[in-house]
Amino acid sequence: MSKKITIDWEFVDEKLANFWEGTEIASHLGIHKETLYDHVKAKFKTDFSDYKAQKRAKGESVLRELQLKTALDGNVTMQIWLGKQYLGQADKSEIKQKDITLNFDANLKGL
């Protein structure tokens, strides 16, 4: 007879939104990862990877909002980073090359 497992779905959802992996959550709950995956399939009619992606998207949107708030509050580093990520801005580097002549000795003995 198998014991009944109760999963705290609020905990699972929170941890997935905070970028935890299923194996970490299962370990914290004291169950095998496959047990967690099976319960997701039974309860939500989807596989774990889709469930995880949905919950993780929430965490990503919260993080994006915090980054934008930080930039709007005057953090120049975050402003530059977001400009590169979303506005296609980039640091421009110019490399100048001088004519270089390389001479090789055709009589390389011992090689």
pLDDT in tens, 57-107: 999 999 999 999 999 999 999 999 999 999 999 988 767 777 766 666 555
pTM as predicted: 0.72
Q: Give yes or no for a contact between 12 and 35, defined as CB atoms under 8 angstroms apart.
A: no
Cα 39 from Cα 34, distance rounded (Å):
8
Q: Which amino acid is at 85?
A: Q
What pLDDT does residue 1 have?
45
